[in-house]
Amino acid sequence: MTHSDPHAAPLRIAFPGEPGSFAEDAAIGYFGADTAIDRLSGFADVVEAVAAGRLDRAVVPIENVVFGTVQQVQDLLAASDVTIVGEVIVPVRLCLAALPGQRIEDIERVYSHVQALGQAEAFLRSRPWSLLAATNTAGSGKMLVDRDERGSAAVLSPRAAALFGLEVLAADIQSEPRNRTRFLVIAPPGTQVVPTPDVAMHSTLVVAVRNEPGTLLRVLEVLGAHGLNMSKLESRPSRTSTWEYVFWMDIDADMCAPTHAAALAELRAAAVDVRVMGCYARASEPL
């Protein structure tokens, strides 16, 4: 977590989605319950506001233990010039909730974000419900209330269910007991992070290589030669060339530090382009 000057103006902070969402949990967990935190409707709105400097910080989900990468967010970040300055990991507890007075036998339709539906798939497939995608988990609960929709339920967090006055029909329906989502904290372009002593650092890079045999191998050889551990490697379509790809890499090191300048220079020599998305403190795993 970064620390600001107590005499400076308060940071403008936001999360995507509705109150009670896991994104709000992430923002509260990172910035503190007493911090003023706003919300915007979607991922694109948040990333755009940070890139334009209308927000100082925001949280966005990047990956889930069960469902993998949130590719929409990954693509939005790659298309912007925001800086990743932190991360936070949020436990995911899901419940099935509906308007008061509904029974589980009354339910015909279940709404939630597609990732939450996937994270509770084993439970949801146990009955012949229609599964319908919503913008986010908490938003699905709000929608039930706004529509006064009977015969429907939402998959969301227990906190969100309570916030919207819904009754829990089934608790802890997530398939993975230790399910969790990793959120990134983003800031305007050029924001610098001061490393915290004795805290492990993490770096996210986007690397473009030539479409030729051995080009990715040369990049990986640079990491190996400098003793750098790559904890994640994922390809995404390039936005500049058809059937070309870029690689997202998470490195267990502070690639912004002078001690890794030589490794970064060699990476840039081996690739077409290397963009350091951010160097930031690694989040501790929640209990």
What order do you get walking across the sheet with 95-98 strand by strand?
130-133, 109-112, 152-156, 95-98, 167-170
* Contact (CB, 8 A) for 77 and 46: no
Residue span of the structural domain in which 152 resides: 95-170
Residue owning tokens 């936005």: 239
Tens digits of per-residue pLDDT, 112-129? 999 899 999 999 999 999
Residues in a beta bridge with 58: 14, 186
Residues 140 and 71 in one domain: no
Q: What is the DSSP string of the chain?
A: -----TTSPPP-EEEES-TTSHHHHHHHHHH-TTS--EEESSHHHHHHHHHTTS-SEEEEEEEETTTEE-HHHHHHHHHS--EEEEEEEEE---EEEESTT--GGG--EEEE-HHHHHHTHHHHTTTTPEEEE-S-HHHHHHHHHHHT-TTEEEEE-HHHHHHTTPEEEES---SSTT-EEEEEEEESTT---PPPTT--EEEEEEEE--SSTTHHHHHHHHHHHTT--EEEEEEEE-SSSTT-EEEEEEESS-TTSGGGHHHHHHHHHHSSEEEEEEEEEPPPPP-
Residues 58 and 129 in one domain: no
User: By mean pLDDT, which of 39-48, 203-212, 235-244, 246-255 is the weakest?
Assistant: 235-244
Question: Is 91 a residue whose pLDDT tops 90?
Answer: yes
Q: Which two tokens stand for residue 1?
A: 């977590």
CA 146 – CA 144 distance, rounded (Å): 6
- Longest CA–CA separation in the chain, Å: 64
Does 237 map to a domain? yes
What CATH number did the domain enclosing 263 receive?
A: 3.30.70.260
Does 8 map to a domain? no
Domain end point (choices 187, 219, 250)? 187
Query: What pLDDT is stored for residue 287 in this prediction?
Result: 53
The backbone torsions φ and ψ at residue 115, rounded to the nearest 5 degrees and listed phi first, read -70, -40
Residues 210 and 262 in one domain: yes
Q: What is the mean pLDDT of the chain?
A: 92
Question: Is 261 a residue whose pLDDT tops 90?
Answer: yes
**Domain count within the chain:** 3
Residues 156 and 211 in one domain: no
Does 3 map to a domain? no
Of 2, 183, 204, 247, catalytic: 183
Does 41 map to a domain? yes
User: By mean pLDDT, which of 7-16, 26-35, 227-236 is the weakest?
Assistant: 7-16
Task: Express as a percent the part of the chain with pLDDT over 70.
Answer: 97
Question: Is 234 a residue whose pLDDT tops 80?
Answer: yes
Residues 6+ apart with CB under 8 A from 197: none
Does 127 map to a domain? yes
What CATH number did the domain enclosing 19 receive?
A: 3.40.190.10
Residues 82 and 101 in one domain: no
Of 181, 191, 196, 204, catalytic: 181
Query: What pLDDT is stored for residue 6 in this prediction?
Result: 53
Does 1 map to a domain? no
CA 168 – CA 146 distance, rounded (Å): 18
**Residue 151 backbone class (left: φ over 0; alpha: ψ -120 to 50; beta: rest):** left
Query: What pLDDT is stored for residue 23 in this prediction?
Result: 95
CA 81 – CA 242 distance, rounded (Å): 22
Residues 26 and 75 in one domain: yes
Residues in a beta bridge with 276: 205
Instruction: Determine the average pLDDT of the residues in 212-217.
Output: 91
The backbone torsions φ and ψ at residue 278, rounded to the nearest 5 degrees and listed phi first, read 170, 155
Tens digits of per-residue pLDDT, 20-79? 999 999 999 999 999 999 999 899 999 999 999 999 999 999 999 888 899 999 999 999
Work out the pLDDT band at 8, boundaries 50, 70, 90: low
Work out the pLDDT band at 252, boundaries 50, 70, 90: very high
Is 69 marked active-site?
A: no
Tens digits of per-residue pLDDT, 124-168? 999 999 999 998 899 999 999 999 999 999 999 999 999 999 999
pTM assigned to the model: 0.89
Does 228 map to a domain? yes
Query: What pLDDT is stored for residue 33 in this prediction?
Result: 92
Question: Is 4 a residue whose pLDDT tops 50?
Answer: no
CA 220, distance to chain mean position in Å, is: 25
Does 7 map to a domain? no
Is 183 marked active-site?
A: yes
Query: What pLDDT is stored for residue 239 in this prediction?
Result: 75
Residues 117 and 160 in one domain: yes
Question: Is 9 a residue whose pLDDT tops 80?
Answer: no
* Contact (CB, 8 A) for 37 and 20: no
CA 48 – CA 276 distance, rounded (Å): 19
